[in-house]
Amino acid sequence: MKFVTAATLFSSFATGLTAPVKREEEPQYFGLVTIHSGSAFQYAGVYEVESHPHVFSVAGSEGEYANLTMQTDSSLTNANGRGIYVDPSTGEVGLVGEGQSPSTGFTIEENILSYNDAEAFSACPSGENKWSLTFNSTCIGGTGVRLYAVSA
């Protein structure tokens, strides 16, 4: 009887020493839609366009819907692991270029994306029926938008 109790105790102890298998969590991807009630940009998608990767498109029919994920350093990356960059001189928001580091300072609260604690994004005209995503921009003819994160 003591032998069974000791074996059971040892078995329980040995099981407790076994480290649980740590699984890497899958990244939580999200897309972005613009919010500006009463405008052409209400619920418009944000897209990556191969011909101009340095700036995302808003609305329109070009490109692939941007699938992003938040990193622990408050930067964003796309589904291919490429970082997102906010150009400090133009305000353009898009994929990092050669030699650039991803911008940090992104947060999402109640599904609204902010950058450096501001929601100052705009859809700026960039061609006929084409708009570019910018931050803190004073572009002519631009429309201020909020960016709403939706499950991808």
Query: Considering the chain, what percentage of its residues have pLDDT values greater than 70?
Result: 84
Least confident of 24-33, 60-69, 108-117: 24-33
9 CB-near residues (< 8 Å, 6+ apart)? none
Burial of 23 (0-12, 13-18, 19+ CB in 10 A): exposed
d(CA 58, CA 79): 18
Instruction: List, in order of start, the domains of the chain with CATH numbers.
Output: 26-151 (2.80.10.50)
Average pLDDT in the 75-103 region?
Answer: 96
| Confidence category of residue 46, pLDDT binned at 50, 70, 90 | very high
